Amino acid sequence: MWNEFKEFAMKGNILDLAIGVVIGGAFGKIVTSLVENVIMPIVGVLTGGIDLTESFMFGSGEAQVKLGVFIQSILDFLIIAFSIFMALRIINRINRKKKEEVAEEPATPELDSKEELLKEIRDLLKKQQA
């Protein structure tokens, strides 16, 4: 069972997925920092100094409903989703161009000497029949 698991875990797709998860986590931290430290302060200035993380809270004591933090998380998600969409769009466009290039190149199979001789014999037989 251990060998089967190692074989499964070492397949290329699993390793690619693991790398993607790690890079995605790091990318998420960058986007969160961008939203918290750049975008939300600009939104605060444009809205007259409103800080979403502190303004839209209600409740009592420790039980606080923080709608501003939720809105900020939604903004994080939208930026990450849009970034992934754009990256996939670019990748698909590149793959489509590669497929078109492959389709444009006609496949001319190389004939070995035996096949060349057989073609010559076929052509000679056709001439004799005509």
3-class SS of residue 130: coil
**Mean of pLDDT values over 102-113:** 71
Against a cut of 0.85, is the pTM above it? no
In the prediction, which pLDDT does 106 show? 63
CB atoms < 10 A from the CB of 91, how many?
Answer: 10
Least trusted range by pLDDT, from 34-43, 80-89, 105-114: 105-114
Calculate what percentage of the chain has a pLDDT beyond 90: 6
Residues 4-24 have pLDDT tens digits of 777 766 666 777 778 888 888
pLDDT at residue 92 is higher than 70: yes
Q: Which amino acid is at 123?
A: D
Q: Which residue has the tokens 């078109």?
A: 100
**Mean of pLDDT values over 90-113:** 78
Task: Give me the domains of the chain, ranges plus CATH numbers.
Answer: 2-129 (1.10.1200.120)
In the prediction, which pLDDT does 5 show? 72
One DSSP character per residue, 39-95 reads: IHHHHHHHTTS--HHHHSEEEETTEEEEHHHHHHHHHHHHHHHHHHHHHHHHHHHHH
Query: Using CA atoms, how far apart are residues 40 and 31, in angstroms rounded to an integer?
Result: 12
